[in-house]
Amino acid sequence: MGKKISVIKIIEMNNDLDTIFIELQKKIGYDTQLDNHRQLIRVLFKLLDTEITNYVKTEDEENFSNALKISSLLEQITSTCAFSENDAHLHLYKQARLLIKITGLIGEFLNEDIEANLIILKEKINKIKFENEKKIEKKFKLQIANLKRILARKKLLNLLKNNGNNQTIIEGEEGYNLFIQILNKCFECIEIQSEDIYYYLHLLHFLENQTEYKKIDSLLLKKVNELKSKQLPEKYQIMLKEIENILNKNKANNSPEEVLKKYDVDNRTKSETSKQQKDFQILTYKEAEPIVLSIDGAAIETIKDDALSIKREKDGYILGVHITNVGNFIIPNSSLDLNAKQKYKSLYLPNQAIHMISPTISKQYLSLEEGQKRNVISLYAKINESGEIEHYYFVPETITVKQNLSYFYADSVLRREITPSTDLDYNLKLLEQVTLLLNNSQRTEYQLMKELIKEITTEENPYSEKIISESMILYNRLFPKYLSNFSDLPIVYRVHEKPKMPSLDAIVQDANLLNKDLFTILKEYYPRAFYSLDNTGHYGLKLDTYSHSSSPIRRYTDIFMQRLYFLSQQQLTIEQLKQLEKDAIDFVEYANKREKELKMFEEEYEEAYVKTFKQNNK
């Protein structure tokens, strides 16, 4: 960066070419004039290339102004060079002269007849023999593609002007027709795999947010499905998903209430527990020793699915992970069960929480509250000093949580900011040690992403959250592993496929062109995890087996898995196993569909809520 600034400054401060050349010579430090020419051309060539590249990416006029200054100097210097046809550095001279011409053409490109000048520019580059300079040829042609995108964008931005006034909101039929026009351009770019998709997609997002459109032609969604069936590169599949999300929203006039209705989300609270007691049963299990603690949010109304216990042994630790037993509490196909399945999971919206199971029922019978006896399915795992699981087992039992901790309080203990009871301090330290062992022995979520883009820094989570996170990963990892011992059971796995990743350079380019941060783009290349009866592993977590089993108060899949656990303890007939397999196939299809619907619901609800909030506070 320092070299770039100093060269530009020298050019600006001196009008005389000889003075500029002498000043630049001091920086380069070669003895012979020809070597000085070569090195100076090389330096200026690189700077000019950088300025043009930055201009076509950002359209920042300062970049182009710098490019013109460097180009003018480079033209003067190359015109004085005495390169012969046999000179080994002749290709450098040709490259410099070519870049000078390109700079001039870019200047003309900014004038009225930009399309014609772009054609001339393309012809000029096509006539050049690049010989061994394939990288430079590729870069020049990429610059042309970028210039074409600028041209397409400038044209379409002109369409967004209403009667010559720079109005950005296009209303009524005119806005809808423009939206369709740009949408069809997006489809065309995806079909022919054109880089112009970036700018058309920018405009589509622009119109999506600012155009009032009330209808979506079913033929458009049909076109999306048609393109989805083709073998498109991953990049264009991602673009297609973005378009599909825009079309599916159709959110222009939806209020929060209408979004709730659209996705069949019931936000009414059913708390009449006396009327619902026929829907659940309270079973008796062997009572375990008092459990040490649970760690969760600070709010008193927080529902607690899990608790932990820990014991130190001579050659390792016994970690206990205790998950509340909902599967054997709610009677299958009761009204309470069907309502939970329809809701599918608890939702946390800007102005309300919609609980899968009534908070009254959860608090009274399920949430692992301090000093209350609760039924759980416990995992006990023997972990050695290397973080390896030597053996483990699951057992239904009744526990009593000794103490509910908030993340803040637990972290204050771990950082020694407060001094608790000796037992609590000791057990938290043991849990911290076990977490470090587990973290070192298995990859945690998105770690691969962070390896690829080390420059992205995220705020560190409180360490107590890591204790819970690693313990839940362990439970979700071992639960299906245990069930797989019963070969006839149809297990619902949470799977995540290996992404088809382009080069990191391509991802960076996508981030720049789509104006998104690198982490967001990288996540888009990662396929979404989904439920499956076939265990293909979880790539993001670097685990060969994974499930959703640790949050049965908040997610229905976890209830389904708990019921599988209790069925594994029974002797099932062939007919029962066949029916169970059919039920599992139907459930996986339903769970994947409902999960996708609720993700779209949360996005639409938040936008509708923000829009309504702004209107009410004008």
**Per-residue pLDDT tens over the stretch 31-44:** 444 455 666 666 67
pLDDT at 186: 86
More confident position, 394 or 527: 394
Whether residue 466 sits in one domain with residue 392:
yes
Please check whether residue 298 lies inside any domain of the structure.
Answer: yes
Boundary (domain end) residue, out of 204, 224, 253: 253
Q: Is 396 helix (H, G, I), strand (E, B) or coil?
A: strand
More confident position, 114 or 78: 78
Whether residue 440 sits in one domain with residue 567:
yes
Classify the phi-psi angles of 344: left when phi > 0, otherwise alpha if psi is within -120 to 50, otherwise beta. Answer: left
Q: Is 199 helix (H, G, I), strand (E, B) or coil?
A: helix
Whether residue 180 sits in one domain with residue 124:
no
pLDDT at 226: 86
Over residues 408-421, mean pLDDT: 78
pLDDT at 376 over 50: yes
Categorize the per-residue pLDDT at 2 as very low, low, confident or very high, splitting at 50, 70 and 90.
Answer: very low
Boundary (domain end) residue, out of 101, 126, 157: 157
Whether residue 292 sits in one domain with residue 190:
no
pLDDT at 233 over 70: yes
Whether residue 139 sits in one domain with residue 113:
yes
Instruction: Judge residue 25's burial from the number of C-beta atoms within 10 Å of its C-beta, 0-12 exposed, 13-18 middle, 19 or more buried.
Output: middle
Whether residue 511 sits in one domain with residue 448:
yes
Q: Name the percent of the chain lying above pLDDT 90.
A: 25
Q: Which of 207, 56, 57 is nearest to 514 (CA)?
A: 57
Categorize the per-residue pLDDT at 450 as very low, low, confident or very high, splitting at 50, 70 and 90.
Answer: very low
Please check whether residue 263 lies inside any domain of the structure.
Answer: no
Q: Which residues, 6 or more positions from 371, have their beta carbon under 8 angstroms from its beta carbon? A: 400, 401, 402
pLDDT at 587: 96
pLDDT at 386: 87
More confident position, 129 or 337: 337
Whether residue 342 sits in one domain with residue 473:
yes
Whether residue 121 sits in one domain with residue 33:
yes
Least confident of 181-190, 238-247, 446-455: 446-455
Over residues 276-287, mean pLDDT: 81
The most confident of the ranges 146-160, 278-292, 435-449, 553-567 is: 553-567
> What range does the domain containing 227 cover?
166-253
- Distance of alpha carbon 441 from alpha carbon 450, whole angstroms: 17
pLDDT at 249: 64
- Distance of alpha carbon 101 from alpha carbon 97, whole angstroms: 6
Over residues 111-127, mean pLDDT: 60
Whether residue 141 sits in one domain with residue 173:
no
pLDDT at 142: 63
Please check whether residue 592 lies inside any domain of the structure.
Answer: yes
Whether residue 184 sits in one domain with residue 152:
no
pTM reported for the whole predicted model: 0.65
What is the 8-class DSSP label of residue 365? I
pLDDT at 379: 96
Give me the chain's average pLDDT, please.
Answer: 75
Please check whether residue 437 lies inside any domain of the structure.
Answer: yes
Q: Name the percent of the chain lying above pLDDT 70.
A: 59
- Distance of alpha carbon 460 from alpha carbon 334, whole angstroms: 43
pLDDT at 221 over 80: no
- Distance of alpha carbon 42 from alpha carbon 158, whole angstroms: 39
Instruction: Assess contact for 433 and 421: CB atoms under 8 A.
Output: no
pLDDT at 295 over 80: yes
pLDDT at 136: 59
Whether residue 589 sits in one domain with residue 526:
yes
Compute and round to an integer the Cα radius of gyration of the chain.
32
Please check whether residue 496 lies inside any domain of the structure.
Answer: yes
The most confident of the ranges 190-204, 205-219, 252-266, 536-550 is: 536-550
Please check whether residue 424 lies inside any domain of the structure.
Answer: yes
Least confident of 153-162, 264-273, 411-420, 496-505: 153-162
pLDDT at 239 over 90: no
Whether residue 231 sits in one domain with residue 93:
no
Over residues 368-376, mean pLDDT: 93
Instruction: Assess contact for 195 and 149: CB atoms under 8 A.
Output: yes
Please check whether residue 36 lies inside any domain of the structure.
Answer: yes
Which pair of structure tokens corresponds to residue 618?
């004008």
Q: Count of domains in the chain? A: 3
Over residues 379-395, mean pLDDT: 93
Please check whether residue 259 lies inside any domain of the structure.
Answer: no
Give first-to-last CA distance, the chain, whole Å: 47
- Distance of alpha carbon 320 from alpha carbon 478, whole angstroms: 13
Other C-beta atoms closer than 10 Å to the C-beta of 236 total 18
